[in-house]
Amino acid sequence: MKKLFIALIALTLSFGVMADASKGQKYYLKYLRPHFSYNGQKFAEKYLKVEWKRMFKKDAKRFIKTFSKKFPESATFLKSERFQKIAPHIKDFTIKYAADSGELPSCS
């Protein structure tokens, strides 16, 4: 009984830390789009799912490097703690709407 209770608590808590593609879409529009020149669809379609996954490995270091180079004005934000908090959601957004996903986001 005690093990079941602990398992239920762990399961409940794990849902709170899961990333969310719809949140990622909102965060992209609010924080990244002003720095980047892409709408949400064009941004997510820049890479395939596997490429986005690689971009976000190791605290999104490849993403930060790539987009800081393309958009130098975004470098400060991309290296911030705030970006690290929203990065899992941005990752889910990009993977869900990647070039090979067949899905289109409803954002502009």
The distance in angstroms from the start CA to the end CA of the chain is: 50
Q: Rounded distance, CA 72 to CA 26, Å?
A: 22
In a domain, 74, yes or no: yes
pLDDT band for position 2 (cuts 50, 70, 90): low
| Residue 36, domain extent | 20-96
Residue 91, Cα to own-chain centre: how many angstroms?
A: 3
Q: What's the CA gap between 11 and 14, in Å, rounded? A: 5
Whether 77 is covered by a domain: the verdict is yes
pLDDT score of 40: 87
Amino acid 59: pLDDT? 95
In total, how many domains does the chain have? 1
In a domain, residue 56? The reply is yes
Q: Name the percent of the chain lying above pLDDT 70.
A: 81
Query: From CA 24, how far away is CA 39, in angstroms rounded?
Result: 13
Question: What is the pLDDT, as a whole number, of residue 15?
Answer: 47
pLDDT for the residue 58:
95
Q: How confident is the model over 30-58, as pLDDT tens digits?
A: 999 999 988 888 999 999 999 999 999 99
